[in-house]
């Protein structure tokens, strides 16, 4: 696997705080709610953003059918991970935690023996999320989620990892 780091920017470009670019929301944990484009309101967005710090596993889709171009948000109150999958899994981005850059080789080799390099978060309810793809700054993670909801783009105030 090849990794490319997209470094964070010093300034965040202005964006429309009332815009809604996501087209579909799907909760991966009970009660397994879903919302389609016409159901997504400011109230629903506020609910999603508020729930993140308490723990959430949710998918935010740019695709109205909920099949492609989605951001997975996992948070347990200690760690937050954001992973984007586009082009039906061929174009993947994750928030990047440079404090764990020394674990990249282990991850490349598929070495799951060292549990200390993983968070307690699970992608899709099964795959452990490595610390290199998660941060403990939940507040910034929530900002990144709102930025994605409003712009459909990655939050420039975080480092991102592109995996190809």
69-89 pLDDT, tens digit per residue, is 999 999 999 999 999 999 988
Sheet bearing 160-163, strands edge to edge: 3-6, 160-163, 91-95, 80-86, 70-75, 56-61, 24-27, 34-36
Helices vs strands, H then E, count in the chain = 3, 10
Q: Is the pLDDT of residue 1 over 70?
A: no
pTM above 0.85, yes or no: yes
**CA-CA-CA-CA torsion sign (50, 19, 139, 83):** positive
Question: What is the per-residue pLDDT across 105-162, written as a single tens digit (0 to 9) for each?
Answer: 777 777 667 788 899 999 987 889 999 999 999 999 999 999 999 999 999 999 999 9
């Amino acid at each position: 696997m090849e990794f490319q780091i997209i470094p964070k920017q010093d300034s965040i470009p202005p964006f429309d705080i009332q815009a809604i670019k996501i087209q579909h929301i799907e909760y991966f944990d009970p009660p397994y709610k879903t919302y389609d484009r016409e159901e997504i309101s400011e109230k629903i967005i506020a609910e999603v953003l508020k729930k993140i710090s308490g723990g959430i596993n949710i998918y935010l889709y740019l695709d109205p059918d909920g099949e492609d171009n989605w951001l997975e948000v996992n948070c347990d109150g200690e760690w937050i991970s954001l992973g984007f999958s586009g082009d039906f899994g061929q174009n993947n981005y994750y928030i990047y935690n440079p404090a764990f850059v020394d674990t990249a080789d282990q991850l490349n080799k598929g070495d799951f023996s060292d549990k200390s390099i993983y968070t307690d978060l699970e992608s899709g309810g099964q795959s452990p999320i490595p610390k290199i793809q998660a941060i403990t700054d939940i507040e910034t993670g929530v900002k990144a989620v709102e930025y994605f909801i409003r712009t459909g783009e990655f939050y420039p105030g975080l480092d991102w990892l592109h995996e190809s």
